[in-house]
Chain A
Amino acid sequence: MTDQNPELTCQQFVEFIRDHMEGSLPADVSASFKAHIALCPPCVDYLDALHKTRDIAKLACTHPDDELPPDLPEGLVRAVLASRRKSS
């Protein structure tokens, strides 16, 4: 963390990561955001780890080796069709 950034504090920078990761960083903040990145390695680490958090969440929850087979249990198919007949 640095004392040389006249624009954003680390706290403000971390809050603006919300908009940065949405691709909706306000135009008037963009330069200050970039300036903070250039000056503050710990905040760069934080930003980088948040990107990795987003990516690992997706990879961990959708990895083909971990998913149960996509076949529907036959009993469930029957139950769905039976409940349709009941409700129609």
Chain B
Amino acid sequence: MPTDSSTTGAADEARLVADLRAGDEAAYERLVRDYGGRLLAVARRMLRNEEDAHDALQDAFISAFKAIGRFEGGSRLGTWLHRIVVNASLMKLRSARRREEVAIEDLLPRYLDDGHMLEPPTGWSDTAEAMAQNKELRALVRQTIDRLPENYRTVLVLRDIEGHSTEEAAESLEVSTGVIKTRLHRARQALKALLDPHLGETA
């Protein structure tokens, strides 16, 4: 989970939570205005569709309003809300229509019988930071992530982009930590293969 450089200090946050629990209408509005922008960015990254992201944000706030009585002060409000919007986005993803996806098996290395790679892998000479300076390249990377099969893309987004731990991702997706680790590894392998023609040394 990302560090929560919160909009509000701890004392302000405690007051806001108390006001929310008391049903204060102004507190609801403040919660939406203070946290909504960041949460919408999360939903956008997960759903890549503005309408779906708005729906997920709305669902997330409804869930949060209902559950505020169970919010424990041990975690930051922003962290708690982040988790709720991720879950709302996952629900939305499950009901979304399937996009055109690549087959993951076609993007993994192939091996000879003795365990050597059939073809030497393509190396990437530039650093990630240098590559990320290029706006078109960043757009290409995002579009390529979107082509990954949904099960793999979701794990990559949760782990590598949203910064969730393996355990958190396993809990959100209701699978074992082993499944998360393997899907993440496959997702990175597939993403690398799809980006090789653009980022590889021999390109």
The number of residue pairs between A and B whose CB atoms lie closer than 8 Å in the complex comes to: 160
Chain A interface size range = 35 or more
Minimum CB–CB distance for B34 against chain A, Å: 10
Kindly provide the distance from the CB of A22 to the nearest chain B CB, expressed in whole angstroms: 6
Q: Nearest chain A CB to B54's CB is how many angstroms away?
A: 6
Chain B interface main SS type: helix
Q: Closest CB-CB distance, B44 to chain A, in whole Å?
A: 7
Q: B28 contacts A60, CB within 8 Å?
A: no
Pick from A42, A49, A52: contact of B117, CB below 8 A: A42
Residues of B in contact with A, size category: 35 or more
Q: Name the prevailing secondary structure of the A interface residues.
A: helix
B121 touches A49 (CB 8 A): yes
**In the complex, residue of chain B having the shortest beta-carbon distance to the beta carbon of A53:** B192
* Contact B135–A65 (Cβ < 8 Å): yes
Query: Chain A residues with Cβ under 8 A from B199's Cβ?
Result: 52, 56
Among A10, A18, A19, A49, which residue has its beta carbon within 8 angstroms of that of B122? A49
Q: Which residues of B contact A27 (CB under 8 A)?
A: none
CA distance A75 to B203 in the complex (A): 46
Point out the residue from B54, B124, B182 that lies within 8 Å of A76, measured CB to CB: B54
Contact of A80 (CB < 8 Å), options: B36, B66, B195: B36
Is A57 touching B161 in the complex (CB atoms < 8 A)?
A: yes
A17 contact from B38, B185, B196, Cβ within 8 A: B185
* Chain A residues positioned under 8 Å from B1 (CB to CB): none
Given contacts A57-B191, A76-B36, contact A1 B116 (CB under 8 A): yes
Bound state CA distance, A48 and B62, in angstroms?
43
What residues of B have a CB within 8 angstroms of the CB of A10 in the complex?
111, 115-117
Whether B117 lies near A62 (C-beta < 8 A) is: no
The 10 closest A-B pairs by CB, nearest first: A9-B115, A45-B123, A70-B37, A55-B128, A60-B141, A59-B132, A18-B185, A46-B121, A60-B138, A11-B115
